[in-house]
Amino acid sequence: MSGSFTHDFNGAEAQQNAFEVIPAGTLVKVRLTIRPGGVGPEGWVTQSRTSDAQYLNTEAVILEGPHTKRRIYTRIGLRGKGAQGADDAYGNRGRSLIRGILESARGIASKDASDRARAARTIRGYGDLNGMEFLARVGVEKDKTDPREEGRNVIAAAIGPEHADYARLMGAAPAATQPMLPGPTTPAIGGTAPPWAAAQPAQPPAAAGNAPFWAR
């Protein structure tokens, strides 16, 4: 063919297996991002196309270690296919994970029942989770209809300060350094600080504009 030419890729770096499943149980520091689904007052919630279930469609980027920059996609359940209250296993698992994320990001022990801890487990809206950094335990979810599938990674749990490796893997006290990414979060009513800010002990000054809402 006239004018034909070739592209030589022998000098390109060998491809890394970016899709290799991270072993279940691996602990990684991640930053959470929510992909808005357009449902709810803030638009963060996603509605299932096949049932009444609702969830947060999340992406967690690994920040440090051998899996840096890998992304883990997890649906955090808010409401199941029809069950409600104590019978809603899907929604209850999701709420438990959100509690764990808040405890991990804000350095709160799961057994801490103090006013400060209770305030730290409170958010003004799902947008407050957007951009949170926490310690996650990686899980592997497999398609039950295809036993040959290797599976895909999900966030199995958020790890709090009780864990022996928490301080080392988080690198610093998260409550003093945790920035929040911009998002349509609900402002504090009447310009007053949220309960978490009132309960939070004094923190070192943060760089202007980078302090989380509960530390301002």
Give per-residue pLDDT as tens, 183-194: 444 333 334 444
Q: What is the pLDDT of residue 8?
A: 80
Closest of 145, 209, 141, 131 to residue 174, by C-alpha: 131
Residues of the chain under the 70 pLDDT cut: 1-3, 13-18, 83-86, 147, 172-216
Q: What is the pLDDT of residue 62?
A: 97
Q: How far apart are CA 31 and CA 26, in angstroms?
A: 16
The H or E element containing residue 102 is: helix 89-106
Q: What is the pLDDT of residue 193?
A: 46
Asked whether residue 136 is assigned to any structural domain, the reply reads yes
Residue 118: DSSP 8-state: H
Asked whether residue 75 is assigned to any structural domain, the reply reads yes
Q: How far apart are CA 15 and CA 19, in angstroms?
A: 11
Q: What is the pLDDT of residue 102?
A: 97
Asked whether residue 189 is assigned to any structural domain, the reply reads no
Q: How far apart are CA 15 and CA 21, in angstroms?
A: 16
Asked whether residue 15 is assigned to any structural domain, the reply reads no
Q: What's the total number of domains in the chain?
A: 1
**CB neighbourhood size of 175 (10 A):** 19
* Single pTM value for the model: 0.73
Q: What is the pLDDT of residue 194?
A: 47
Q: What is the pLDDT of residue 152?
A: 92
For residue 153, give its domain range.
27-180
Asked whether residue 97 is assigned to any structural domain, the reply reads yes
Closest of 184, 176, 168 to residue 203, by C-alpha: 176
- The end-to-end CA distance of the chain, in Å, is 68
Question: Any residues with CB less than 8 A from the CB of 68 and at least 6 apart, and which?
Answer: 62
Q: What is the pLDDT of residue 156?
A: 97
Q: What is the pLDDT of residue 81?
A: 80
Q: What is the pLDDT of residue 172?
A: 59
Q: What is the pLDDT of residue 155?
A: 97
Q: Hey, is 156 helix, strand or coil?
A: strand
